[in-house]
Chain A
Amino acid sequence: MTPDEVRRVAALARLRLDEASLERLTRDLNGILAHVEKLAEVELDGIAEPEAVQGWATPFREPGTAPDPLAEGAPADRAPGWREGFFVVPRLPGVEGP
């Protein structure tokens, strides 16, 4: 990765890096990626669907059975701000409202 690529990835991840961090991280990441390159030499035996090989099917929930932490957590008692079914948080910059 070049420093520019690191900067681009950082932007994707909503991280801000100063010049010193950028330099250090570029070095660190390239060191790790060099080690990870080992994976390129693995003979993949034509595995197309890794999950199927492993026998691990993604479990799906029955419709309508999602847990609701708010039903159990008494948010009105525990949150700093709670109004009409919503958590109230400090206003974000540039956001207008009542």
Chain B
Amino acid sequence: MTPSGAGAMAGRVRRGEVSRDRFFRKALDRARDPESASVHAFLSLADRDSVAAGEEAEAGAPAAAPGSFPEDGVPGAGEDGGEDTCSGPSTDLLAGVPVAVKDNICTLALPTTCGSRILEGYVSPFEATVVRRLRKAGGLVLGKTNMDEFGMGSSTENSAWGPTRNPHDPGRVPGGSSGGSAAAVAAGVVPCALGSDTGGSVRQPAAFCGVVGIKPTWGRVSRYGLVAFASSLDQVGTLGRSVDDAARLLQAVAGHDPRDATSSPRPLPDLLSGADRGVDGLTIGIPREYFAGELEPEVRGCLDQALERLRAAGARTVEVSLPHTQYAVSTYYVLAPAEASSNLARYDGVRYGFRPPGAGSTRDVYEEARSRGFGAEVVRRILLGTFALSAGYHDAYYGRAQKVRALIARDFRRVWDEGVDLLFTPTTPSPAFALGERTGDPLAMYLSDVYTVTANLARIPALSLPVGRVDGLPVGGQLLAPEWEEARLARVGRALERLLGEDG
């Protein structure tokens, strides 16, 4: 299949030039050919003979029972017209487009394992809001993608089902935890995919795989049906071949959901228009803390070239400081494991998932299921989190980390108040590392998240896009915007993509 964008595909389907299942079938063939299969991006694939697993689900899903929520319509529909509302019918946005879905997002027909043995074979009885919305927009779920177990990892090596390989170099990781989704897009199987981002898990694999990744503002996208890892940090994010692909999928799935009380009632802006507005007059902040220390010089070189292009196109760049950046990884690795230890307490072997045979007592069931079902990284984080919340340590660790989080968020607000429109940083300090290179040292793995965790801690939206190559490996640049400014991210992302594309 000649790689083409989701917008182009949807257009051809809407105009009747191709059948609705055309791109889906081609994507399935591509997913199954030996070259893509060796990437191991997918854990499960939809049935070939259904137009999509989604259609079976559509047929099988009962009408909303009385007293339950009315089927929500098109995101933004029914609201007063105005600049902020989505223009055009979302129902056609993804017509016939095959979409990959990370395996921690609940789907009806395909299993949801979160990359963990403890959920092996689990098929969710309900569908995530983001999946329901992508289907309402005409999209077709191609399959579920591989991931680090429960979202814990930066390489997809923590999957119970084996790693995914980077399509650019099979000896290297695709990043994580949404490595399967990033690889599925990079391998040309699908133009866009859903992932989740708690500390960088959409943006970092996007950078490693040379695709675009967007983490929206916390609360912009419903988490109903996203298996919880760290609830105050988790967001569903989108990946795509281009900024338009990732933004299109985000447009289709984002917006208030009565099923998720933490989702914002703010109207969803139009993420797809304004494509031709440039960067003239924009003020772009360069935070000095992101351009120091561990950043590899060649990666820095790619970022510098991108900045030159932005300046030549009329953007003003200004150096800024985010002084609490050095505490971000520590803050994250207290808060995220603490929340995870609570969220993962439900995996007890009793109601779903792995039930250990021959256990002598209920306590044995809990301990056997968890100890045998969880991988090493999950165990490590649960222990860390439980410790940080335990009596005598709670204030020193969890309580303190909450306060540092507030300071990190304040650093960003001060920069926006100084008149900065966006920030531009590297997404990662280095390109994709080799499989096995960091599995022996958890801390080394954690430190690769240094540029991405701040956006989750501050709850602001962020976008990663390819800005060059180092030794043939993709390098990502990251745009950070104030809360709720996804439209600005998409616009500037598109502009930068165009400027870099002019290289030839």
Give residues in A with beta carbon < 8 Å to B. Answer: 1, 5-6, 9-10, 12-17, 21, 25, 28-29, 31-33, 35-40, 42, 44-45, 47, 50-51, 53-54, 56, 59-61, 65, 67-75, 77-79, 87, 89-90, 92-95
Question: Could you tell me the distance between the alpha carbons of A31 and B374 in the complex, rounded to whole angstroms?
Answer: 21
Question: Could you tell me the distance between the alpha carbons of A66 and B297 in the complex, rounded to whole angstroms?
Answer: 51
Q: Is the CB of B390 within 8 A of A9?
A: yes
Q: Is the CB of A79 within 8 A of B406?
A: no
Q: Is the CB of A65 within 8 A of B367?
A: no
A-B pairs, 4 with minimum CB distance: A71-B68, A50-B406, A67-B259, A73-B126
Interface stretch, picked from B151-159, B239-247, B328-336, is: B328-336
* Chain B residues with CB under 8 A of A44: 400, 403-404, 407
B70 to chain A, nearest CB (A): 11
B38 close to chain A: CB less than 8 A: no
* Chain A residues with CB under 8 A of B371: 15-17
Beyond A13-B341, A92-B350, whether A67 also contacts B407 by CB under 8 A is no
Q: Is the CB of B407 within 8 A of A47?
A: yes
Interface range for B = 35 or more
Question: Could you tell me the distance between the alpha carbons of A41 and B390 in the complex, rounded to whole angstroms?
Answer: 21
Nearest chain-A residue to B380 (Cβ)? A28
Question: Could you tell me the distance between the alpha carbons of A77 and B61 in the complex, rounded to whole angstroms?
Answer: 10
Question: Could you tell me the distance between the alpha carbons of A45 and B371 in the complex, rounded to whole angstroms?
Answer: 41
* Chain A residues with CB under 8 A of B351: 87, 89
Count of inter-chain pairs, beta carbons less than 8 A: 162
B370 close to chain A: CB less than 8 A: yes
Apart from A39-B327, A53-B407, A65-B258: 13 A-B pairs, beta carbons within 8 A: A13-B370, A21-B379, A32-B333, A38-B327, A39-B397, A47-B403, A60-B261, A67-B69, A74-B125, A89-B355, A92-B362, A93-B364, A94-B362
Q: Is the CB of B62 within 8 A of A74?
A: yes
B469 close to chain A: CB less than 8 A: no
Q: Is the CB of A29 within 8 A of B380?
A: yes
B382 to chain A, nearest CB (A): 5
B112 to chain A, nearest CB (A): 12
Beyond A9-B390, A29-B383, whether A72 also contacts B366 by CB under 8 A is no
* Chain B residues with CB under 8 A of A89: 350-351, 355
B65 close to chain A: CB less than 8 A: yes
Q: Is the CB of A42 within 8 A of B407?
A: yes
Question: Could you tell me the distance between the alpha carbons of A58 and B379 in the complex, rounded to whole angstroms?
Answer: 29
Question: Could you tell me the distance between the alpha carbons of A36 and B126 in the complex, rounded to whole angstroms?
Answer: 38
Question: Could you tell me the distance between the alpha carbons of A32 and B351 in the complex, rounded to whole angstroms?
Answer: 33
Question: Could you tell me the distance between the alpha carbons of A7 and B428 in the complex, rounded to whole angstroms?
Answer: 35
